[in-house]
Amino acid sequence: MWKKIIKYGIIPVIVMLIVSLLGFYVWSQQTYQASEFLHQHVEAIPRVNDWVVFEPEEQSIEGIILYPGAKVEPEAYSYLALKLSDQGYLVVIPEVRLNFAILDINKANEIIEEYPAIENWYLGGHSLGGVAAASYTFEHLNQIAGLFFLASYPTNDFSALDLPMLSIYAELDGLSTPEKVLEREALLSEQAQFNQISGGNHAQFGLYGPQKGDNDATITAQEQQDQIIDQLLSWFKDSSIN
């Protein structure tokens, strides 16, 4: 009897589990890659280990870690990284496990260890990457000077914490809609700033082309990117402890 239970009960479950895991793996590798527009505006995308790294011309004590959105290649954020590094920041965008930052929350540890000269780290992420960044920050508050969200929001409650936070969201985002972002406003610290990009959408927080479920933007990708850069730089300056 037990042999029949194993044969007709457990084995099919194991087979289904294996098939499901293989299916998830294949799906996770179908990523959003950097657009032609990005490659036209960023001549070289430097890498260190499995990270995209843009270093400023002079040694900096301030660094930025950006967790990519789900299934988005790190290179898709290279325009943002280049422009921020031009203003004196070290910028690191890591590859994450199975292209889901939520499966690799502690990736920031490796980066922080690699660059001991950096005194102030700002951590953030796009979409699901922001959720992962928030989870890391919540457990490592002494290591992060500020937390930012690009079309994202936390699941942790930061409301009682003294932490600079920035939430940039887009009017026409079809995935992390303005309503979803503002519904979680109470989870952010009292220092949090909220900035909406009029006419922007979800995919244009990176440069990787259209994304399923998103709305069409009424501003160009470069316009949205430049607004994000300006808002981040202003917030970094206001949040700096130096």
Residue 202 lies in a domain: yes
pLDDT-based confidence at residue 132 (cuts at 50, 70, 90): very high
User: What is the per-residue pLDDT across 147-162, written as a single tens digit (0 to 9) for each?
Assistant: 999 999 999 999 999 9
pLDDT grade, residue 22 (50/70/90)?
A: low
The answer to the question of residue 210 being in a domain is yes
The domain that holds 222 is classified in CATH as 3.40.50.1820
Residue 32 is assigned to a structural domain of this protein: no
Contact status, residue 168 vs residue 141, Cβ threshold 8 Å: no
Residue 10 maps to a domain: no
Structural domain count of the chain: 1
**Which segments of 132-213 are extended strands (E)?**
146-150, 165-170, 193-197
pLDDT digits (tens, 9 = 90+) for 79-111: 999 999 999 999 999 999 999 999 999 999 999
Instruction: Examine residue 130 and state whether it is found in any structural domain, yes or no.
Output: yes
Q: What is the pLDDT of residues 33-67, one digit of tens each?
A: 999 999 999 999 999 999 999 999 999 999 999 99
CB 184 within 8 Å of CB 153:
yes
- Axis-axis angle for helices 107-114, 128-139 (nearest 10): 70
Task: Work out the mean pLDDT of the chain and round it to a whole number.
Answer: 92
- Asked, for residue 74, whether it belongs to a domain, the answer is yes
Confidence bin at 31 (pLDDT 50/70/90): confident
Would you say residue 181 lies in a domain? yes
- Residue in the block written with tokens 């004196």: 88
Q: Percent of the chain, pLDDT > 90?
A: 86
List the domain range (segments joined by +) for residue 117: 37-239
* Beta-bridge mates of residue 94: 51
Confidence of residue 21 (pLDDT cuts 50, 70, 90): low
Which pLDDT belongs to residue 121? 98
DSSP 131: H
Residue 242: pLDDT band with limits 50, 70, 90: very low
Q: Count CB neighbours of 186 within 10 A.
A: 9
Q: What backbone phi and psi angles, to 5 degrees, belong to 37?
A: -60, -45
Q: Is residue 140 part of a domain?
A: yes
